[in-house]
Structure 1
Amino acid sequence: MSTEKANESVKVSKGDIIRLEFDGWIVESGELFDTTNAEKAKEAGIFNENLTYAPIPILLGSGRIFEGLEEAILDAEVGVEKEVVIPPEKAAGQRDPKLVEIHPIREFLKQNIEPKVGMEVSMKNRVGTIISVTTGRVRIDFNKRLAGKTLKYKFKVVSKIENPEEKVKAILEMDYGTSDGFKVSLEDKKAIIFLPDICKYDQKWLISKYRIVSDLRDALGLNIVQFIEEYVKKEEESKVEEKKDEEKKNESVENPEKSETSQ
């Protein structure tokens, strides 16, 4: 049973974990640059099949969103749609002219890359956008794409998460991208998290887990966070699968499927 609050009289504060839906535009161009709505993303030509389009979990006060947006959220009520315009200094910051650099075109040609305007490039652990290509020279802007832009957000705090286990799942989703396959157990000031098999070989997990621990301590006041990997012997796996199959058979006899309109 979910214990996420979705009452319009509920306020939020720093340290709360919420689910937020939003649309974000660049004021100067009217361009929709981010959204939690799949249809709007498709209409704007920014749909990314690797993203999940749904209200996102946010730990307020963790510095993961623009300062101006967080200030507006802290002044909002759960379930009430709001709109806010954010100046650059409270969004992605002002543009820095020093981050626009000129590089010789031969640097690209050596790597069999034909530089084109609008192309994203990675150089010395920095990502930039090519803004001009002239004879022998390539001008690259290493400013963040939204630097210097005024942003407009239309947003709604869909829910405030109250249940401790749901908070853990939300933090896993926020920091690792998903909570699927994780099993969570809480006791006193301790969290025990059983990891899905994918974490055993996913490099992203090795980086994400440190942020997860930090956020769990901040949001739930935990002293101990345990991550448990399980390795089951093949014969044990077979027995487990056989037991599951047997349980499913019994379940299908005791609880036959009903149509969606059955009471």
Structure 2
Amino acid sequence: MTGESDESAEETQASEEAAESTENGLQDGDFVRLAYTARTVEDGSLVDTTDEEVAEEEGVADEGTFEPRVIVLGSGHIFEGVEEEIEGSEVGDSGSVTVPAPEAFGEYDQEEVRTVSTDKVPEDDRYPGAAVQIDGQQGYLETIIGGRARVDFNHPLAGDDIEYEYEIVGEVEDELEQAQGLMNMFFDMDLDMFIETDEVEEEQVVESDDDDEGEPETETVTVEKETLYIDSDPQLAMNQQWMFQKQQIAQQLIDQVGIDRVIVQEVIDGNPMGGMGMPGMMGGGDLEEALEDVDVDADEIAEELDEEIDADEPTTE
């Protein structure tokens, strides 16, 4: 009886120590710089990596930038199984975790292999293995026979268990680095960004003791807002993901970094004279000089406008 009690007490103590260790380590919401390589368990095919040497060995080094990435734990930036493995860990820890197919890219579904009319497949994509869009759904062409095409709409890695080898390189606490890390996760491009605290005027509701149900009274107050400025270049402006999801991406930056707002600044470098148009109106210069160029007296125009305004004003007796 005593032996069972001792064993139960040891299990309880071990469980409490494990829970305490998890609570003391990295938690949901922490920004982590993570190095990893993911491969399929069955044949070791590369799924993703942050290691430049691995990318070179696999012949994919020219497909992007390979360096440790910033993720936010608990935000679904990596598979849940990997997040659970990292939670409670410390910077410098490393390990390996296998993510089963249902929790990775899903089970393979034979019903997702369908036959469609060849007319729906662009002529340039009529070869086995081509990535095609059919009725708004991404698929991969298997075969074409006559006027029929066989298309697999499963994810290419559906049915594969994925093994993640990872190392926690560091924890990111600087807000600008956090924001840059999140943007790099969405877009593989260098963007100029900075954070400033701005004074902004805004309307706030004034509390009133009156019980009237009229419109609430407001007053203009000056508040400080921590603002992330992003310089947008043509590459970002024309990026389809940014075009359709910039509101959601900006909201993630606000929620996860803890800033108040995001301002995206469009920077256009062109003719230093400002391009076409009347100087002073679109590209610099002085309005009076422009009027002189077309033989117009600015003072005369001002006098005529004053006379018209006086004539339009109602008279009172």
Instruction: Specify if TM > 0.5.
Output: yes
Aligned counterparts of 2:239 and 2:127: Cα–Cα separation in 1 = 32
* Cα distance, 1:55 vs structure 2: 0.8
Matching residue of 2:311: none
Aligned partner letter, 1:234: P
Per the alignment, residue 252 of structure 2 pairs with 215
Residue number in structure 1 paired with 2:43:
29
Q: Secondary structure at the match of 2:48?
A: strand
Q: Residue 128 of structure 1: CA displacement?
A: 1.0
Shift of 1:136: 4.5
The amino acid of 2:243's aligned partner reads: L
Paired letter, 2:247:
Y
The count of aligned residue pairs is 224
SS state of the match for residue 33, structure 2?
Answer: strand
Residues 105 and 138 of structure 1 are in contact (CA less than 8 Å); yes or no, is this contact kept in structure 2? Answer: yes
Please report the TM-score for the alignment, with normalisation by the length of structure 2: 0.62
Moved more, 115-124 or 183-192: 183-192
Q: Unmatched 5+ residue regions in structure 1?
A: 1-9, 237-263
- When residues 159 and 207 of structure 1 are mapped into structure 2, their CA distance, relative to the original with a 3 A threshold, is farther
Q: Which residue of 1 aligns with 2:14?
A: none
Q: State the one-letter code of the partner of 2:67.
A: A
1:14 aligns with 2:38: no
Q: Secondary structure in 2 aligned to 1:183?
A: strand
Alignment correspondent of 1:195 = 231
Q: How does 1:1-263 map to 2 (within 5 A)?
A: 11-45=25-59, 47=60, 49-108=62-121, 111-113=122-124, 115-134=126-145, 136-186=147-197, 190-198=226-234, 201-204=237-240, 205-229=242-266, 234=272
**Corresponding letter in the other structure for 1:227:** V
Q: Which runs of 5+ in 2 are unaligned?
A: 1-23, 199-223, 275-317
* AA at the equivalent of 1:68: G
User: 2:259 and 2:51 mapped to 1: Cα distance?
Assistant: 34
Superposition deviation, residue 219 in structure 1: 1.4
Compared CA separation, residues 179 and 140, structure 1 to 2 (3 A): same
Mark the CA change 1:186 to 1:56 in structure 2 (over 3 Å): closer, same or farther: farther
Q: Deviations over 1:196-249 (max 9, x none)?
A: 44378434443453233221222133333333446689369xxxxxxxxxxxxx
Counterpart of 2:87 in structure 1: which amino acid?
L
* Contact in 1 for aligned 2:232/2:265 (Cα 8 Å): no
Letter aligned with residue 55 of structure 2: A
